[in-house]
Structure 1
Amino acid sequence: MHPPRMSAPSCIVQPTEQLVIRPHIVALLPTFHGMESENPYAHIKEFEEVCNTFQEGRASIDLMRHKLFAFTLKDKAKQISNFLAKENEKFYECWERYMETINSCPYHGFDTWLLVSYLYDGISSSMKQLLETMCEGDFMSKNPKEAMDLLSYVAEVSRGWDELNAREEDIDMKAKVAAMARRLEELEMKKIREVQAISETPVQAMLYYERLCWRPEIHQRSAQSKNDNVESILNKMMDGMQNDLSQKIDNLLYSISRLTNLNTVQEKGKFPSQPHQNPKGIHEVEAQGGESSQVREVKVVITLRSGKEVDLPTSKQEHEPESEAEK
Structure 2
Amino acid sequence: MLEAPTEGYEDAIVVPEINANNFEIKHDLLNLVINKQFFGHDKEDPHAHIRYFNKITSTMKFPNVPSTSVKLMLFPFSLEGAARIWLKKEPPRSILTWDDLVSKFINKFFPPSKTTNLRNEITRFQQKFDETFYEAWDRFNDLLRGCPHHGFSELHQLDTFYNALNSNDQRLLNSAAGGNCWIKCLENDLKNHREKSKVLSNEARPIVSKVKYEALYPSSFIDVAELKVWD
Higher helix proportion (structure 1 or 2): 1
Rg: which structure is higher?
A: 1
- Which one has more relative contact order, counting CA pairs under 8 Å at least 6 apart? 2
**Fold similarity call, TM over 0.5:** no
